[in-house]
Structure 1
Amino acid sequence: MADAELFVHPDYPVPGHGKAWFATTRDGAQLRFASWRPTVKPVRGTVVLVQGRAEFIERYSETIAELRRRGFHVLAFDWRGQGGSQRFLARERKGHVGRLRHYENDLALAMAQMQEKLPGPYFVLAHSMGAALCLDAARHGALPVSRLVALAPMLGLTITENPKAASRLASLLFWLGFGRAFIPGGGDTAIATKPFDDNRLTGDPDRYARNSSLSAAARQLSIGDPTIAWVRNAFRLMTRLNAPNAAREVRVPTLVIAAGRDRVVSTPAIERFAARLKTGQALILPTARHEILMEIDAIRAQFWAAFDAFIPGEDASLNPEGAASAGEQGQRGLMQRLAGSGDDAPASGGAAAIP
């Protein structure tokens, strides 16, 4: 592979002074990494951005800039099979992973790069598939961070009408040798480039148009629909996380934030999982769609208020949205109580919803 680079879109450039490189997993996959230094002092540690399926580093440019303004180093990476990381199929726009352990190897490499190259304390901000993988890693001591913020974690799917039937069909097709085939009806078109109307990702037309333009311009970083093997592995991960004791095994203090209007993953499944956590709770943003970080400003302000309260050391004066509203201050109090709970503190149960 060529030297790692970051794609610069004229209307949505990545923040300056970023460093990109490749690193190799223990099973030989080359992953693209990038990091940035904070733009303010004091330095508050490092946040690792863990993306979802079909994403790539550059889509998070706005989030990276906001984290840097909060005093954090930022580390981001692309999962194998997407973004600038190594692809393993001749038809490179298939969203594919062969085994669940391959993603586990990717996350293990990210944690190693974090500890090797950047200062602590360490935090993770993860989305969708990435959030589910981080929750699973946190059950086994494989997520060596102080706090985890899991956005719309993939604990159940609403994108299919009958998940149980879809899971059985994916397993059958996989064992019949169709693991590398697109899902039925799938193709190369990236989801972010499809029309905005009735999209499942965000209610913000401007951010949607920006990401669509970015995906079209950086076609080499985009992928289309998933393969049968990816779907099979996704259901295996969700089954693992929905086991009765799975949530109680998560030992990293966790803030789970769900979208009330999510039509990709199941918000009720997220609430059930969070109710069993020993070290956290769910926060529901009722009007948000799946990509909370790409939502309208009002929803994003609610997210950042919760993030700032949960991640230790944040000063409200660094909040780029300005002074917190009374509602945000109340939510900060809730998150501060969550952040203060110890590893063995019981979850308060249920989910808080911001009106």
Structure 2
Amino acid sequence: MERPDGAFLRLSRWNPASPAPPPDAATLLILPGRAEYVEKYAELAGDFTRRGLHVVAMDWRGQGGASRLLPDQSMGHVESFDIFLDDMAAALPRLLDGTAGPALALGHSMGGHILLRFVAERTHPFHGIIASAPMLGINTAPLPEGAARQLARLAVRMGHGQRYALGQLPFAADPPPAFAGNRLTSDPDRFARNHRFCLEDPALALGGASWGWLDAALASIRHYFDQDRLEQVDLPILLLSGRADRIVRTDRHDLAARRLPRCTLASFPEGRHELLMEADPIRNRVLAAIDDFLARILPA
């Protein structure tokens, strides 16, 4: 899908399981996190097509199969998260075209942040949403988040917005990332599988974030909590929070759940950041929480 500024987004649809769900079955939109791509969610899409849902997804601009924003194709960059909201608004009619049932959305990490902002700020079609480890705060240790925000803002003002932020590096296929000590999942097979996607199709790979991305992300997080609309979001929300997450701040999940009037917070003590790609004992509990949520909000 091409946007007016020449950027293009990759929109995807999974063929339903057999037998196919009826046309008026619910449709689930999957919104990946930073540096992710729709292929990474094929297993989850299969889970939900088998549950009788239609499943669609999109790659955000700047990553996956969408157009990149800088000559350095490995750098994750954006100047404002508002462009993600605009892209999502433009893509929704095409993603939901031909569907007659309730619309649902599931966003992970950055995708969860954008989704939560979208339903708070824009007209939307959703019957309910699921936010998996939403990026409502970033673990910027050893710096406090406030100090990291000031540093990112200063770097952008000094003209370094399109350079890698401190500690961020280009994607490297070799050596493969070490499973030991990783912050994403306790499942070694899913961890290795996700790296294989980028080996098989290097165009999907994305490395570290720019100062511009970090500045935009922290500004968007602050904007989300500063606005006075959260208490008026009249929408069922399931917020999934892995308490062993060292990438996003779980205390912000608690804060959002208190402010959103119809939010259910489901916590998983051993869960790391990628709850939907965790080891089966954790992932099965995550899916059970989603099943319970859908049973409560969808028609029989």
Instruction: Flag whether TM exceeds 0.5 (same fold).
Output: yes
Aligned with residue 130 of structure 1, among 108, 111, 127: 111
Structure 1 segment 95-114 matched on structure 2, within 5 A: 95-114=76-95
Structure 2 Cα separation of the partners of residues 219 and 301 of structure 1: 31
Report how many residues are paired. 293
1:38 aligns with 2:21: no
**Higher relative contact order structure (alpha carbons within 8 Å, sequence separation ≥ 6):** 2
Counterpart residue type for residue 166 of structure 2: P
- Give the CA deviation at 1:110: 2.7
- Give the CA deviation at 1:240: 1.4
* Alignment match, 2:166: 184
Per-residue Cα deviation, 1:239-277 (whole angstroms, up to 9, x for no partner)? 012227343132321111100100000111101110111
CA gap of 1:78–1:244, structure 2 versus 1, over 3 A, is closer
Structure 2 Cα separation of the partners of residues 114 and 101 of structure 1: 20
Say which SS state the counterpart of residue 304 (structure 1) adopts. helix
CA gap of 1:229–1:308, structure 2 versus 1, over 3 A, is same
Unaligned stretches of 5+ in structure 2?
A: none
Counterpart residue type for residue 154 of structure 2: L
- Give the CA deviation at 1:188: 1.0
- Give the CA deviation at 1:38: 2.1
* Alignment match, 1:3: none
CA gap of 1:276–1:289, structure 2 versus 1, over 3 A, is same
* Alignment match, 1:257: 240
Structure 1 Cα separation of the partners of residues 101 and 141 of structure 2: 40
Structure 2 Cα separation of the partners of residues 74 and 212 of structure 1: 23
Given that 2:165 and 2:211 are in contact with CA atoms closer than 8 Å, whether structure 1 keeps it comes out as yes
Counterpart residue type for residue 97 of structure 1: V
Unaligned stretches of 5+ in structure 1?
A: 1-22, 313-335, 341-355
Say which SS state the counterpart of residue 255 (structure 1) adopts. strand
Structure 1 Cα separation of the partners of residues 94 and 69 of structure 2: 23
1:64 aligns with 2:23: no
Structure 2 Cα separation of the partners of residues 26 and 250 of structure 1: 30
- Give the CA deviation at 1:290: 0.2
Percent identity of paired positions between Structure 1 and Structure 2: 34
Given that 1:37 and 1:72 are in contact with CA atoms closer than 8 Å, whether structure 2 keeps it comes out as no
Given that 2:27 and 2:96 are in contact with CA atoms closer than 8 Å, whether structure 1 keeps it comes out as no
Structure 2 Cα separation of the partners of residues 220 and 309 of structure 1: 37
Given that 1:193 and 1:215 are in contact with CA atoms closer than 8 Å, whether structure 2 keeps it comes out as no
Given that 2:36 and 2:63 are in contact with CA atoms closer than 8 Å, whether structure 1 keeps it comes out as yes
* Alignment match, 1:319: none
TM-score (norm 2): 0.92
TM-score (norm 1): 0.78
